């Protein structure tokens, strides 16, 4: 059985810090505690408006972490230059709109194919593993492969909304999309990650899919940490993922 990695996104520790200025709570300390709780990697999104993670957070995460850093970034010249300078383990390319509250969907790599060729080549030349955050569709998997990206991260947000609305038909539809894309993507040679909106209520059916190698989870874990502590929140997620992957009911 292939193991399932957990990447913890620490953006919203920085959101709370920035609400008051100053240095507390520290996203780098949160990263260390997440690793203690069972995270295999840390994700941070340096947004254009720096609303949560800041440049110095990325530099410190890169300098201090023993686990891989996944740098989430929009495809802009500024972010490409920061990635090339910082050389994180991985860079996950995401769409970014200033007005959005969070990333609203996958990157349109079919429509923007030509524009992605050079950025992907530059990141690869810098030794960075490129991941594309995309919708779970078959043609999107083929395009990612043709673009030479080794990894795709499937957007699970629509599935998670279906679970939140308690809509069984939509849940089945969205899970089938994710399952089909994961299995096709893996078959053609992509490494499959997934994320967005995952929590303890909805994570199991996604974690159970054998082709998925990594889940990236942020908002739920940072919110849950208020009640149980970050290390415990990560431990509980890790346990739910492992149980689902092993086919054990919880």
Residues that bind ligand PXP (CB under 6 A): 9, 11, 45, 72, 92, 94, 102-103, 133, 153, 195-198, 216-220
- Asked if 72 is an active-site residue, the reply is yes
Q: Which residue among 12, 45, 52, 155 is the active-site one?
A: 45
Q: Which is nearer to ligand PXP, 1 or 112 (CB)?
A: 112
Q: Which residue among 72, 135, 214, 231 is the active-site one?
A: 72
Minimum distance, C-beta of residue 48 to ligand PXP, in the bound complex (Å): 14
Dist CA 13 CA 31 (whole Å): 10
Minimum distance, C-beta of residue 94 to ligand PXP, in the bound complex (Å): 5
Q: Which is nearer to ligand PXP, 98 or 247 (CB)?
A: 98
Q: Which residue among 52, 196, 211, 224 is the active-site one?
A: 196
Chain centroid, CA 163 distance in Å: 19
Contacts 24+ apart (CB under 8 A), 122-128: 122/80, 122/84, 123/80, 123/83, 123/84, 123/91, 124/148, 126/83, 126/84, 126/87, 127/87, 128/71, 128/83, 128/87, 128/88, 128/89, 128/90, 128/91
Dist CA 230 CA 142 (whole Å): 37
Q: Which is nearer to ligand PXP, 159 or 220 (CB)?
A: 220
- Asked if 191 is an active-site residue, the reply is no
Minimum distance, C-beta of residue 155 to ligand PXP, in the bound complex (Å): 7
Rounded to 10°, the helix 219-228/11-20 angle is 70
- Asked if 104 is an active-site residue, the reply is no
Tokens found for residue 250: 């919880």
Minimum distance, C-beta of residue 219 to ligand PXP, in the bound complex (Å): 3
Q: Which is nearer to ligand PXP, 72 or 211 (CB)?
A: 72
DSSP, collapsed to helix, strand or coil, labels residue 36 as helix
């Amino acid at each position: 059985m292939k193991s399932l990695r957990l990447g913890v996104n620490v953006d919203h520790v920085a959101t709370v810090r920035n609400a008051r200025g100053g240095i507390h709570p520290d996203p780098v300390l949160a990263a260390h505690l997440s690793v203690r709780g069972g995270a295999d990697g840390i994700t941070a999104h340096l947004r254009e408006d720096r609303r949560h993670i800041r440049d110095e957070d990325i530099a410190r995460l890169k300098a201090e972490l023993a686990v891989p850093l996944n740098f989430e970034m929009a495809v802009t010249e500024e972010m490409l230059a920061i990635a090339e300078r910082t050389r994180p383990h991985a860079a996950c390319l995401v769409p970014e709109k200033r007005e959005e509250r969070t990333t609203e969907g996958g990157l349109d790599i079919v429509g923007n194919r030509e524009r992605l060729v050079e950025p992907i080549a530059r990141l690869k030349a810098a030794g960075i593993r490129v991941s594309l955050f995309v919708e779970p569709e078959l043609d999107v998997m083929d395009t990612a492969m043709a673009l030479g990206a080794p990894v795709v991260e499937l957007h699970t947000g629509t599935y998670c909304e279906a679970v939140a609305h308690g809509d069984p038909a939509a849940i089945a539809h969205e899970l089938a999309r994710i399952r089909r894309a994961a299995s096709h993507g893996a078959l053609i040679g992509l490494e499959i990650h997934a994320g967005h909106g995952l929590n303890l209520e909805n994570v199991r059916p996604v974690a159970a899919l054998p082709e998925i190698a990594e889940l990236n989870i942020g908002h739920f874990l940072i919110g849950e940490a208020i009640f149980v502590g970050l290390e415990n929140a990560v431990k509980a997620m890790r346990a739910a993922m492992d149980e689902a992957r092993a086919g054990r009911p919880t």
